[in-house]
Chain A
Amino acid sequence: MNLAELVDRTSVDALDHLERESTVPVVEGLQAQGDLIVIPFSMLAGPPDQNAGRWVPEEGVHLIAGEDGRNPHVLVADPGTCTWSPAEEQDVGVIENTAPVYLLHPEHGGTGIAPGQWLVRRQREQTGLVAD
């Protein structure tokens, strides 16, 4: 998967200065994209609170958007390979995937997540949650 293909599959366009043709790395472990961090379940003390999951549709799921609705982080997966379960407050939700899935962001580009169970969490500061 490369950035150009991710852009094609979603309604989100990445900034044109980002490299589009090289393969997006798939990471098996802790990784961050802007104000989001993807945490493997093995790092958590116990399973997180989560609501019922649903399959990620072909066009992807907008996990969170920036303050004015722009700059969403979009989860992209092949049909039937990934569920998304929203959570609350700092915890955005849980990804459970059987094949690599991708996070796409207009400014940060794309990054891949290896098969597994993952908690997506937002960055916070003393005054509240961070929005990039």
Chain B
Amino acid sequence: MAQLYAATGRPPPEFTWVRSPAEAAKLLPANEVTCFEDDRQTVGSQIATQFMDLIGRMRGRTDWQGAPSRIRRELRRIRSSLVQAVRSTMPDASTGIGWTGQHDAYWLAELDAHRLLGTRFDPVDLALFELWETLVRSTGWWWPREEACVMAERPVTMHVDADSLLHNDDGPAVEFADGSCAHAWHGTPTTPIASARDPANPGFHLTLHDLLLEPARLLVVVNGSVERDGTRRRYGLRVPDSLQDPVQAAAWTYGLEPRQYSQLLRRT
């Protein structure tokens, strides 16, 4: 990080390590909101610009033709689910997680693959590239400011689905050491609202979540029958956001009143 500061002509900053982006947000002065549009000379915007320029130059050396590949689309979805989740753990959303950070690590992986496949890069670019590789291997998110840099540790737990999208049907998808966390359902950020016993599914619960980016709520239900491996599949149903209670939401999916759904005798 100090070397990235040096590349902008600055001395090493004072480093402060925190356990999470939420803790970082408390340390970062509110008046240092990232307004790159107004001031392109801040250390954060200069480091971000250098990174974008580096990626651009190195991509220019590869045989990449600019066609959006399936993999790149998937990577963008993964990146966006990660950015939304991490941002949602921060009390002051305006602080944000900056232009570059762990969510951009996949660009380095892509260029590293080209390097392994034999693309010859400029040695100066390669030296800077290796600096960035070291950085993404060494830290979580970070916030470079004038003379001070806040560094957050990586998450302590992280759950994804088969498509590598943030997902956990039974708890937070991302959790930091200080307990700050974010929930996600197949990449979509959620906030749990309420949980209730499923009337005809002993030992299992219906849970209702807010979908942060959609005018709907998500009802997560557990199958009444077991899968081949002995587990039970959970599935998520989008329901109107006027519904407040999990049993009310489950009843709605069948066009019934909550008191009727509560009389469910068996679920298979």
A residues at B contact (CB < 8 Å): 15, 17-18, 25, 27-34, 37, 39, 43, 90, 105, 107-111, 121, 123-127, 130, 132
B95 to chain A, nearest CB (A): 33
Give 3 nearest A-B pairs by CB, closest first: A125-B237, A31-B266, A126-B238
Q: List 8 A-B contacts (CB under 8 A).
A: A17-B226, A29-B265, A30-B265, A31-B200, A32-B200, A32-B264, A121-B255, A123-B254
Which B residues are in CB contact (< 8 Å) with A110? Answer: 268
Bound form: Cα–Cα A127–B216 in Å: 10
Which A residues are in CB contact (< 8 Å) with B227? Answer: 17
CB <8 Å contact, A107 and B254: no
Which B residues are in CB contact (< 8 Å) with A124? Answer: 253-255
B83 to chain A, nearest CB (A): 25
CB <8 Å contact, B268 and A39: no
Partner of B266, one of A18, A27, A130, A132: A27
Partner of B268, one of A15, A34, A121: A34
Bound form: Cα–Cα A30–B253 in Å: 14
Which B residues are in CB contact (< 8 Å) with A132? Answer: 235
Residues from 186 to 226 in B contacting A, C-beta threshold 8 Å: 200, 216, 223-226
A65 to chain B, nearest CB (A): 17
CB <8 Å contact, B237 and A33: no
CB <8 Å contact, B268 and A30: no
Partner of B267, one of A17, A31, A90: A31
CB <8 Å contact, A33 and B268: yes
Which B residues are in CB contact (< 8 Å) with A43? Answer: 256, 260, 263
Bound form: Cα–Cα A25–B216 in Å: 37
Bound form: Cα–Cα A28–B217 in Å: 32
A105 to chain B, nearest CB (A): 8
- The contact string, 1 if C-beta is below 8 Å from chain A, for chain B 238-265, is 1110000000000001111000110111
